[in-house]
């Protein structure tokens, strides 16, 4: 073998070694990259599970509420009621006194002002409303005795759920020793139990944790999203159709497209400031109403809906348009009869995602006054109301233990709504999506 051939073999071997070394390095980099990706996904899932577990562990107890069974005697003389249909007499009647009399019968040995006050604190301060509502529903109860489960005080509820340790010294807990004896007596007699918390789903906000519910906030969210949907969907679809199907490509349409894309990245609180200055300040619309909240959220969700609607229109093949035009259809007929129905599933998906984003917003609604304390559920879009995220924001600022668990429970409800809406969007896309 000549020296030239030997040198050629050596050069080929060295080249192969270099290639193999480079391949080994590249494969090692790919493995490290995959490992980093898996680690990142693992960290993300771990933190998500930690978040969900924290929320659920803090909030699941809010779906139960402690109640005390009492024998309520609707004494007409004590209530000073002659006619149940007389609204003034019903409002002035001392229904709380009936509940205290029932407690006194359960614990007749209690004496002294301090102990009597502590005994009366076993039941919620809202017991008068509950007893009044029962009498309004059934006027024949006047002069009769009825067994009623009334709400326990939030401290009693916290003890029943294990949030108060009875082993602590008396000065370090909110429940006194003699109250613990009464609680044990009620539990042993079956007069104190944890029941499903219907109040949480049927009542509005309250200063007392055991009386606070999300119904007013849920209803306010419904009205606000209804206004947002009725305004944003037709406007967003019309804008997308015009820009994609009819508008000529010039500097004005380019400017509009740039602004739409930029508006999608604007912080949501800016839209709240716009609503405060224009809708409330200039037009004088009522504060804290779903009408104004829906209009502000419409401004915020329009860019998302327009962008998703344009993407859906672009996905329709040009052959559909050409075939319709070839059959003699006008440009408007091409859009309304052919392009728009085919693009509608994608538009609906984008709209639902935009609505889900609007459902979780707080900053723009904070600026227009929807953080107000609203007890009654709204009856229309011009009634003062709050929304579920704002209700969570308000409860999170309350120090009572009862509001801590209700904050987490409201977050669970909100997450359920968001998961439902996003799942609906995915199902619509899977069911109606067409691959061209």
Could you give the CA distance from residue 378 to residue 386 in angstroms, rounded to a whole number? 9
Tens digits of per-residue pLDDT, 75-101? 888 888 888 888 888 888 889 999 999
User: What value does the mean pLDDT take over residues 63-71?
Assistant: 93
Residue 145 has phi, psi (to 5 degrees) of -105, 135
Q: Helices 290-314 and 251-263 sit at what angle, rounded to 10 degrees?
A: 120
Asked whether residue 164 falls in the same domain as residue 310, the answer is: no
Strand partners, 68: 150, 192
Asked whether residue 196 falls in the same domain as residue 147, the answer is: yes
The pLDDT score that the predictor gives to residue 297 is 93
Which of 60, 82, 106 is where one domain is finished?
A: 60
The pLDDT score that the predictor gives to residue 125 is 87
CB-CB contact of 416 with 297 (8 Å): no
Radius of gyration for the chain, computed over Cα atoms and rounded to the nearest angstrom = 32
Map residue 173 onto helix, strand or coil: coil
Nearest to 91 by CA among 121, 144, 136, 145: 136
Nearest to 95 by CA among 111, 117, 76, 118: 76
Q: Spell out the residues 6+ positions from residue 232 whose beta carbon is closer than 8 angstroms to its own.
A: 297, 298, 301, 302, 305, 351, 354
User: What value does the mean pLDDT take over residues 154-165?
Assistant: 90
Asked whether residue 273 falls in the same domain as residue 396, the answer is: yes
The pLDDT score that the predictor gives to residue 3 is 58
Domain count, the chain: 3
Asked whether residue 243 falls in the same domain as residue 172, the answer is: no
User: What value does the mean pLDDT take over residues 302-324?
Assistant: 90
Q: Domain containing 401 — which CATH number? A: 1.10.3720.10
Q: Spell out the residues 6+ positions from residue 146 whose beta carbon is closer than 8 angstroms to its own.
A: 71, 72, 74, 134
The overall longest dimension of the chain from CA atoms, in Å, is 128
Which comes out higher in pLDDT, residue 151 or 8? 151
The pLDDT mean for the chain works out to 87
Could you give the CA distance from residue 263 to residue 268 in angstroms, rounded to a whole number? 10
The pLDDT score that the predictor gives to residue 217 is 92
Residue 23 structure tokens: 């391949």
Asked whether residue 48 falls in the same domain as residue 105, the answer is: no
Could you give the CA distance from residue 105 to residue 107 in angstroms, rounded to a whole number? 6
Asked whether residue 204 falls in the same domain as residue 320, the answer is: no
Asked whether residue 305 falls in the same domain as residue 175, the answer is: no
CB-CB contact of 431 with 362 (8 Å): no
Which comes out higher in pLDDT, residue 8 or 206? 206
Which of 211, 229, 250 is where one domain is finished?
A: 211
Asked whether residue 278 falls in the same domain as residue 409, the answer is: yes
Q: Helices 340-359 and 290-314 sit at what angle, rounded to 10 degrees?
A: 140
245 alpha carbon, distance to own chain's centre = 37
Residue 298 structure tokens: 């419409």
Q: How confident is the model at residue 41 (pLDDT cuts 50, 70, 90)?
A: very high
Tens digits of per-residue pLDDT, 406-427? 999 999 999 998 888 888 888 8
The domain in which residue 256 lies consists of 215-432
Asked whether residue 225 falls in the same domain as residue 351, the answer is: yes
pLDDT > 60? residue 356: yes
Which of 60, 77, 95 is where one domain is finished?
A: 60
Nearest to 257 by CA among 292, 294, 303: 303
Asked whether residue 221 falls in the same domain as residue 194, the answer is: no
Q: How confident is the model at residue 4 (pLDDT cuts 50, 70, 90)?
A: low
The pLDDT score that the predictor gives to residue 360 is 86
pLDDT cut 90: percent of the chain above it: 33
pTM of the model: 0.85
Nearest to 227 by CA among 300, 164, 155: 300
Asked whether residue 300 falls in the same domain as residue 361, the answer is: yes
User: What value does the mean pLDDT take over residues 172-201?
Assistant: 90
pLDDT > 70? residue 156: yes
Map residue 416 onto helix, strand or coil: helix
Strand partners, 149: 69
pLDDT > 80? residue 330: yes
CB-CB contact of 300 with 265 (8 Å): no
Nearest to 368 by CA among 350, 386, 380: 386
Could you give the CA distance from residue 246 to residue 128 in angstroms, rounded to a whole number? 65
The pLDDT score that the predictor gives to residue 10 is 61
The pLDDT score that the predictor gives to residue 63 is 92
Asked whether residue 177 falls in the same domain as residue 266, the answer is: no
Residue 315 has phi, psi (to 5 degrees) of -75, -15
């Amino acid at each position: 073998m000549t020296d030239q051939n030997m040198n050629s073999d050596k050069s080929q071997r060295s080249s192969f070694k270099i290639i193999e070394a480079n391949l080994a390095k590249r494969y090692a980099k790919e493995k490290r990259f995959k490992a980093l990706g898996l680690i990142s996904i693992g960290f993300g899932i771990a933190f998500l599970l930690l978040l969900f577990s924290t929320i659920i562990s803090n909030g699941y107890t809010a779906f139960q509420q402690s109640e005390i069974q009492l024998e309520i005697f609707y004494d007409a003389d004590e209530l000073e009621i002659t006619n149940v249909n007389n609204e003034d007499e019903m409002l002035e009647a001392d229904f709380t006194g009936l509940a205290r009399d029932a407690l006194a019968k359960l614990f007749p040995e209690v004496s002294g002002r301090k102990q009597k006050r502590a005994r009366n604190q076993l039941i919620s301060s809202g017991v008068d409303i509950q007893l009044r509502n029962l009498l309004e529903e059934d006027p024949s109860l006047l002069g009769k005795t009825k067994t009623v489960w009334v709400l326990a005080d939030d401290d009693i509820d916290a003890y029943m759920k294990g949030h108060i340790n009875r082993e602590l010294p008396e000065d370090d807990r909110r429940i006194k020793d003699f109250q613990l004896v009464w609680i044990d007596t009620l539990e042993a007699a079956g007069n104190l139990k944890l029941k499903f918390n219907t109040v949480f789903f049927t009542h509005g906000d309250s200063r007392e944790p055991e009386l606070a519910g999300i119904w007013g906030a849920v209803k306010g969210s419904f009205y606000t999203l209804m206004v947002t949907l009725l305004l944003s969907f037709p406007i967003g679809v019309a804008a997308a159709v015009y820009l994609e199907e009819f508008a000529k490509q010039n500097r004005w349409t380019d400017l509009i497209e740039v602004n739409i894309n930029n508006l999608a990245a604007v912080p949501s609180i800016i839209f709240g400031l716009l609503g405060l200055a224009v809708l409330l300040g200039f037009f004088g619309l009522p504060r804290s109403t779903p009408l104004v909240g829906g209009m502000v959220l419409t401004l915020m969700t329009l860019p998302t809906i327009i962008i998703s609607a344009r993407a859906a229109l672009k996905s329709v093949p040009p052959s559909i348009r050409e075939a319709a035009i070839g059959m003699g259809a006008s440009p408007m007929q091409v859009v309304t009869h052919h392009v728009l129905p085919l693009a509608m599933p994608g538009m609906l998906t984008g709209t639902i995602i935009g609505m889900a984003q609007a459902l979780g917003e707080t900053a723009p609604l904070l600026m227009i006054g929807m953080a107000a304390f609203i007890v009654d559920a709204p009856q229309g879009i011009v009634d003062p109301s709050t929304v579920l995220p704002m209700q969570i924001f308000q409860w999170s600022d309350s120090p009572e233990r009862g509001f801590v668990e209700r904050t987490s429970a409201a977050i669970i409800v909100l997450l359920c709504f968001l998961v439902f809406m996003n799942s609906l969007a995915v199902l619509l896309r899977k069911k109606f999506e067409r691959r061209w």
